[in-house]
Amino acid sequence: MSCSNSLVQVHKLVEQLRLEASMERIKISLTAVDLVQYCQDHRRSDPLITSVAASSNPFKDKKSCVLL
């Protein structure tokens, strides 16, 4: 019984490895170039690079804290 369980697990592993090996991969260098280009194209609208104006910041506190 243990041998048949082990054999089934090995067959599943082999099928998974065959599936992974048959997948078409994208070269990392091409993906990095695309990512850099995207960042450069959208840098004007990126709030991490160009800060958000205080008047349009939805997370800014509406009232200031006053201690008595």
Cα–Cα distance for residue pair 17/19, rounded to 1 Å? 5
Asked whether the predicted pLDDT for residue 11 surpasses 60, the reply is yes
Q: Buried b / exposed e across 29-67, counting CB within 10 Å, b at 16+?
A: eeeeeeeeeeeeeeeeeeeeeeeeeeeeeeeeeeeeeee
25-42 tens-digit pLDDT: 877 777 888 889 998 998
pLDDT tier for residue 16 given thresholds of 50, 70 and 90: very high
Residue 1 has pLDDT above 60, yes or no: no
pLDDT at 8: 92
Q: Which residue has the higher pLDDT, 61 or 15?
A: 15
